[in-house]
A and B are shown apart, each in its own frame.
Chain A
Amino acid sequence: EADIYQTPRYLVIGTGKKITLECSQTMGHDKMYWYQQDPGMELHLIHYSYGVNSTEKGDLSSESTVSRIRTEHFPLTLESARPSHTSQYLCASSRRAGLGTDTQYFGPGTRLTVL
Chain B
Amino acid sequence: AQKVTQAQTEISVVEKEDVTLDCVYETRDTTYYLFWYKQPPSGELVFLIRRNSFDEQNEISGRYSWNFQKSTSSFNFTITASQVVDSAVYFCALSEAGSQGNLIFGKGTKLSVKP
Which positions in A face B, CB cutoff 8 Å? 2, 31, 33, 40-43, 45, 48, 50, 58, 88, 90, 92, 94, 96-109, 111
Contacts and interface: CB of A to CB of B under 8 A. Distances in A.
Nearest to B91: A43
Category for how many chain B residues contact A: 20 to 34
A45 B103 contact: yes
B57 interface: no
B62 to A, nearest CB: 17
A50 B100 contact: yes
Contacts of B7: none
Contacts of B43: 88, 90, 108-109, 111
B40 to A, nearest CB: 11
Interface of B: 33, 35, 37, 39, 42-47, 50, 89, 91, 95-103, 105, 107-108, 110
Given A104-B47, A111-B43, 14 more contacts: A2-B47, A31-B100, A33-B102, A40-B107, A41-B89, A41-B108, A45-B103, A48-B102, A58-B102, A98-B100, A101-B33, A101-B99, A103-B50, A106-B37
A105 B105 CA distance: 14
Contacts of B95: 101
A42 B42 contact: no
A45 B102 contact: yes
B83 to A, nearest CB: 22
B110 A101 contact: no
In the complex, which of the residues B42, B45, B50, B91 has the most CB atoms of chain A within 10 Å of its own CB atom? B45
B58 to A, nearest CB: 19
B43 to A, nearest CB: 4
Return the 8 tightest CB-CB contacts between A and B, nearest first.
A106-B45, A101-B95, A109-B43, A108-B44, A41-B108, A101-B33, A43-B105, A101-B101
A101 B99 CA distance: 8
B94 to A, nearest CB: 10
14 contacts: A33-B102, A43-B105, A43-B108, A45-B102, A45-B103, A48-B102, A88-B43, A90-B43, A100-B101, A101-B96, A101-B99, A103-B50, A107-B44, A108-B44
